[in-house]
Amino acid sequence: MSVQTYEVIFRIRRYSPEKGSYWQEYKLTVDRFTQFTEALRRIKTEQDPSLAYRASCHMAVCGSCGMKINGEPRLACKTLVSGIINKYGSNVITIEPMDYFPVIKDLIVDWEDFYTRMFKVKPRLYPAKEVLEGKGEHRLKPEDQRRLWKFAQCIWCGLCVSVCPVIREDPEFLGPAAHAKGYRFLTDPRDTITDERFKILSDSAWRCTYCYHCFSVCPRDIEPVTAIKKTRALTKYVKEPTNVTFNGVKHSEAIAGSIKTTGKIMESLVYLQTYGLSRSLKDLIFIAKAGRGGSLISSILEEKPVKNVSEIKKLFEG
């Protein structure tokens, strides 16, 4: 029985401080079970020992082999070469280092920034004193474990951070991986530093832009954005909300209030409630200048509440 093989051209984005950045092509024949880490290992051992990349466990546990494959942030070990060929219908495949992180050599990037962010959220359990002294024990209910399980699966691969658009702009944002890890301890009933965790996580949670890059690329299906949403949902327990948190809550409550009472987002009302009269009037000038006064008027006059609004209210209250 013959095994199906593929002749593949790998275009690899290489870099060294001496040569700078350049593309290099390698030809390799692979079978349909070949992972990218295996393809890279064969290129390195059979063709070019100078090619640098990180890989260790080859089973999506160690988080070392994050890279961009045909532009997609992926774990090389969890991605089959044949899968990418079938998805894109081409035997020419590009491999690049992850975005955002500084490149050290070829596909190897500098993790410093990533670890700094992770350590900021104190990524470990702070148990009660009596437990530390061996005088008691913590118990975790199965339902709590089920709730936390997803967010405890992070392997620190950095793929979510490499694509996050806010992390590049906002130094106050902790980033998706740190939020997933932070939420996992924030709501762990065994943890004892909840107030401090709220202080660390709450403001940053309201700095996320819900772009869903992190959800899309996570090789462990952790959904960091969901952890951020769940952290926001706990804002009522935050003792000293920052401006960003305060404004975010105001906006979120204005939206929920509008839907609850009319079944829809009455934009003008939500705008006014979120920004206040002064900012709304300023924006009105920009809106009029763009020739959008008509849209504004129609949004105020034409949109009608849901007829069966009592059903909407029941859904909120039930």
286 binds another protein (CB under 8 A): yes
Of 17 and 171, which has the nearer Cβ to another protein? 171
Using CB atoms within 10 Å of the CB of residue 143, give its burial: 0 to 12 exposed, 13 to 18 middle, 19+ buried.
Answer: exposed
How far is CA 260 from its chain centroid?
Answer: 29
Residues 11-70 that bind another protein (CB under 8 A): 70
303 binds another protein (CB under 8 A): yes
207 binds another protein (CB under 8 A): yes
> What tokens appear for 197 in the block?
């965790």
Query: Minimal distance in Å, beta carbon 49 to another protein?
Result: 30
Beta bridge partners of 192: none
Tell me the number of residues near another protein by CB under 8 A. 66
CA distance linking residue 120 with residue 112, whole number of Å: 13
Of 22 and 316, which has the nearer Cβ to another protein? 316
104 contact partners, CB below 8 Å, separation of at least 6:
110
Residues 128-187 that bind another protein (CB under 8 A): 165-166, 169-170
- One residue of 52, 104, 265, 272 binding another protein per CB under 8 A: 265
Torsion of CA 226, 158, 126, 223, to 10 degrees: 10
CA distance linking residue 106 with residue 87, whole number of Å: 25
Q: Which residues bind another protein (CB under 8 A)?
A: 70-73, 87-88, 165-166, 169-170, 206-213, 215-216, 229-230, 232-233, 244-245, 247-248, 250-253, 255-256, 258-259, 263-268, 274, 283, 286-287, 289-292, 294-296, 298-299, 302-303, 306-308, 311-312, 314-316, 318
